[in-house]
Amino acid sequence: MNTLIDENDVSPACLSVLLEQAVIAHSVDSDGQIHVHEPGWFPYWITHRPHQGLIALSTYTEFREETTELERLRLSNEVSLNSTNLAVCVTDDRLRFDFALTCLGVMVQDHFVRACRHFPEAIDRAIAAVDGEYVQLKHLREVCSKPKDVS
């Protein structure tokens, strides 16, 4: 059965409880941003944007220094073409990935948990399709081991 959560009840604390119930490793920082760091997953951040009625799942990886701006843009376009549910963009030396989940009116609990499980897999598949050998991109293990601001 799908549990509906009223938009006014959606908060970082509520999302954290749902992640705990789903046994997804995470931490919540002082400004309410959630860092998901499940072993074996591409780490990412969850931000509740109540003024937009959204829950944003975001992460990034970095380009290798020798990758040209044109190569970066081509890679971003290829990822966008190969993944229908990810928003992808180039920001300086980063390839950023975003997924938005609506919580206008109500949020379906199961949709949130499924999105949290699917997001890192979608990124892994998108990267594997365009740069599986990590020639142009750095593997996230090379980039960071703790949360960074992605907003």
- Give pLDDT tens digits for 97-123: 999 999 999 999 999 999 999 999 999
Q: What domain range includes position 98? A: 4-143
* Within a domain: 30: yes
* Within a domain: 150: no
Look at residue 145 in the predicted model and tell me its pLDDT: 46
Look at residue 30 in the predicted model and tell me its pLDDT: 92
Q: 68-72 long-range CB contacts below 8 Å, 24 or more apart?
A: 71/136, 72/136
**Predicted structure pTM score:** 0.88
Q: How many domains does the chain have?
A: 1
CB 60 within 8 A of CB 96: yes
* Within a domain: 148: no
* Within a domain: 151: no
* Within a domain: 86: yes
The angle at the Cα of 132, spanning 115 to 60, to the nearest 5 degrees, equals: 50
User: What percent of the chain shows pLDDT beyond 70?
Assistant: 93
Q: What is the CATH number of the domain that holds 50?
A: 3.30.1460.10
Give whole-number Cα distances, 102 to 31, 53, 113, 144, in Å. Answer: 21, 6, 13, 28
The one-letter amino acid code at 32 reads G
Low-confidence ranges of the chain (pLDDT < 50): 145-147
